[in-house]
Structure formats: structure tokens, C-alpha cells
Amino acid sequence: MQQISYSQTTEINLFDGKSLDGWVIENNGQFSVESGVLKLNKGTGWLRSKETFKNFTLYIKFRFLEKEANSGIFVRTAATSTTLETGWPNNGYQVQCKDIITGEAPLGGMIPYGAPPFKHHTDLNALAKAYNPTKQWNIFEITCIDEDLTVILNGIKITDASSILLPSGHIGIQGELGKLEFEKIYITELP
């Protein structure tokens, strides 16, 4: 993995706590802002950043309001969506944001959405240590540098991925099952 010179980084706040400025709601996603919190009320579609990003660390604070609530964080994702009822992106990568820490698609695991094949591994033991249960806040740090991606949950690395071939794209939040809240969404652009 490439060495990073942090003196060359730029931090961008993606959520101002007051509005959805800088975002586009795609395919009837059920997103709103209330009392400084971005709320997701089930549904379909997704919330897409207006800007695209290449190499970065995304910081996103979230909590599940219902057991087994299910969303996802899209990275390096095209603005295009499927024609299916879900209306999710059809060319990008998803970091699973589901209140499940076992199985094939646990919290912090990777799912392709029309993106080229890639390699990934989620450490379920590390995930069990890092996870804060339903209604408690969690923090993802998702870093993409060239073809490598890592996911840190609450300070513990849980997922490594390689062969991430899409060089840049939007950040997004998926609407799916259950209610979630998000705070403090910002990105550090890396060289």
C-alpha cells in the first residue's frame, strides 16, 4: 500500500447537520435531516454525493435504530442506477452497513454493484470486538488508495479489499431495510 503524506491531505465536510446540500436523492430514497442528524427511513434508492472522489478516507458516524436494519455505504460509485425497483447504483462498491456481524454479508463486508470483480476479506473476530449494538453509535473509516480499500470500525480494522479497479466515483448511502441515523460525514482526500 502507498505511503501517505498527510501534509498533502484535504478534509471536506460532506454533511453540515442542517441540510442535504452537496447530495442528490436518487430513486425516491427516504432521507431527511432533523436535529443535526441525517435520517434514513427504510425504502429504496440512495443518497449520492454531488462530487466524486479518488483516493480518500471517509469518516461516517452511524447507528441502527432497529435490529437487523440494513443499508450500505457506496464508494467510487457511478451516478447511474439500475432499472430495478430498488434503484441502487449499477457500477460501484458497497461497504455493508447492516446490523449483522455474522454470515456472508456482515457489517463492514464488501458487495459489488456492477463493479469489476475484486478480492476482499472481513475478519469476523475483529468485527465482533469492534461492533456497538443497535441504538449505539458506530464509526466507519473507509480508506481507498489506488486499488486498495480498508474498513475500520470503531478503531479496529475489519476488512481489506484489493483490485478495486474503478479509479473514482461518488460516495453514497443506500436505502433498504430499517431505520438508521448518520452524523459527522466527512472525507479526507489523499494524494
What band does 58 get if pLDDT is binned at 50, 70 and 90? very high
Q: What is the mean pLDDT of the chain?
A: 93
Q: What is the mean pLDDT of residues 70-86?
A: 92
Residue 92 carries which side chain, given as an amino acid letter? G
Nearest to 162 by CA among 151, 172, 154: 151
- For residue 7, what pLDDT is reported? 52
- Give yes or no for residue 73 having a pLDDT over 80: yes
Q: Burial, 40: exposed, middle or buried (Cβ in 10 Å; 0-12, 13-18, 19+)?
A: buried
**Mind listing the pLDDT tens digit for each residue in 95-139?**
999 999 999 899 999 998 889 999 999 999 999 999 999 999 999
pLDDT at 83: 82
Of the listed ranges 2-11, 55-64, 78-87, the one predicted with least confidence: 2-11
C-alpha 99, offset from chain centre: 14
With a pLDDT cut of 90, the percent of the chain lying above it is: 85
Amino acid letter, residue 146: D
Is pLDDT of 5 > 60? no
- Which residues sit opposite 148 in a β-bridge? 145
